[in-house]
Amino acid sequence: MANFPASRAAGLAAMASFVPAMGRRYANGRNIDHGPGAHKAVSRLSPYIRRRLVTEQEVVAAALAAHGLEAAEKFVEEVFWRGYFKGWLEQRPQVWVSYTQGLQADLSAAQDDRKLGRRVERAMQGQTGLPYFDAWAAELVETGYLHNHARMWFASIWIFTLGLPWRLGADFFYRHLLDGDAASNTLGWRWVAGLHTRGKPYPARADNIKTCTHGRFAPRSGELAEVTQGLEATEPAGLPPVLALRDFNRPNPGVATALLITDEDCRLEDFALPSLAIRAAATLATSHLRSPWEVSEAVIRFEAGALADAAARTGLPAVALRAGHPAELARWAQSAGVTQIVTPYATRGPVHDWLLEARPALAASGITLAEWRREWDAEVWPLATAGFFKVRQQIPRLLADLGLA
């Protein structure tokens, strides 16, 4: 198992150790997959940033302070990609709904079609006979991590060479990646498939794999499918329209409040906790909601550690809840004698879906669900209406508006 201690202190230590490489070294070496235990040219901060044990703003500030924007441009852009994907899915929530519904259909098909089911199982177990693909499958399961380039190659081979349903591949990633994120994972797989930037699928090429693994892997001629067309024909209606960012309740400081900690954001001390009349606190474990299939025990352990660490830093005694029947949230809040639950903003994904299901029971009990949204998200998300370029060209302005330039 890769060494990812689940705490803010560990995340800050990992960030500090990588700061010297956030400039030219990252730009020059970020595309090389050196293999398990040798990922030195990339930060491996994603499990921490995904849960905001370390925030995007902190990481970008460290890169700029050490290298300046020109030298750290590639690293800074990669941090903004996460915000871009988050904002894109927030404004096209239909894509998440389509993914979850399509995944259920694909899982059923894999269970009903024995041949398909065996092919999917062999791919997940790293038994395809393609040594590079099988190695990446094993690394993912064993470490909870894959180099970003390997993720793209893996997804492309899954879709175009093996001919497997893309949602089942995305689900495989989501169940095992310590940094698994609904937006980045779903849209990353859609991008490879040619559904995000329609008509522009990502091809896994033998020469690129050989070059960017420094010869560790060298696919034979004709072994990989030639990708000439993506899966855009499977969604003939095209991309859904951009919707307004959803409205949400802001915290009311004048009422009895319960604090709910999820792995959407584990840096709650950034918010105005002392201004609230907090009567109770709880952590909510939700990693098991990532998939109808079994989620990696490593992912569940990392979430548990991150939640416990976040709760400890608030200084509040917190009970540990596990997302079961959504009505249980209202019962807990009632037992605590509160009329408001406050939590960091839940973006599209399993946490959001579960809280949405909990709202009727909360409303019936006279309990309001309120959320905090970070300034980073409020600045970046509205720009994520098309391709990443629209966000990229605004990075200097965003840095200035966020007090980082």
Q: What is the pLDDT of residues 154-213, one digit of tens each?
A: 999 999 999 999 999 999 999 999 999 999 999 999 999 999 998 899 999 999 999 999
Within-domain flag for 244: no
Total domains in the fold of the chain: 3
Range 331-354 average pLDDT: 98
Within-domain flag for 313: yes
Residues 126 and 21 in one domain: no
Residues 228 and 102 in one domain: yes
Query: β-pairing, 368-372 with 277-285?
Result: unpaired
Q: Tell me 324's DSSP state.
A: -
Give pLDDT, residue 190: 98
Residues 82 and 109 in one domain: no
Residues 338 and 384 in one domain: no
Residues 80 and 100 in one domain: no
Within-domain flag for 250: no
Within-domain flag for 109: yes
pLDDT in tens, 21-57: 999 999 999 999 999 999 989 999 999 999 999 999 9
Residues 278 and 367 in one domain: yes
Residues 105 and 78 in one domain: no
Residues 288 and 188 in one domain: no
Residue 200, domain CATH: 1.10.579.10
Structure tokens at 15: 């960030």
Residues 276 and 303 in one domain: yes
Q: Is the pTM of this model over 0.95?
A: yes
Residues 218 and 336 in one domain: no
Within-domain flag for 248: no
DSSP codes of every residue in 62-102: HHHHHHHHHHHHHHHHHHHHHHHHHHHHHH-HHHHHHHHHH
2 confidence band (pLDDT: 50, 70, 90): low
Residues 6+ apart with CB under 8 A from 349: 96, 181, 182, 183
Q: Tell me 187's DSSP state.
A: H
Within-domain flag for 264: yes
Domain ranges, residue 33? 8-89+380-401
Give CA–CA dist 161/319, Å, rounded: 47
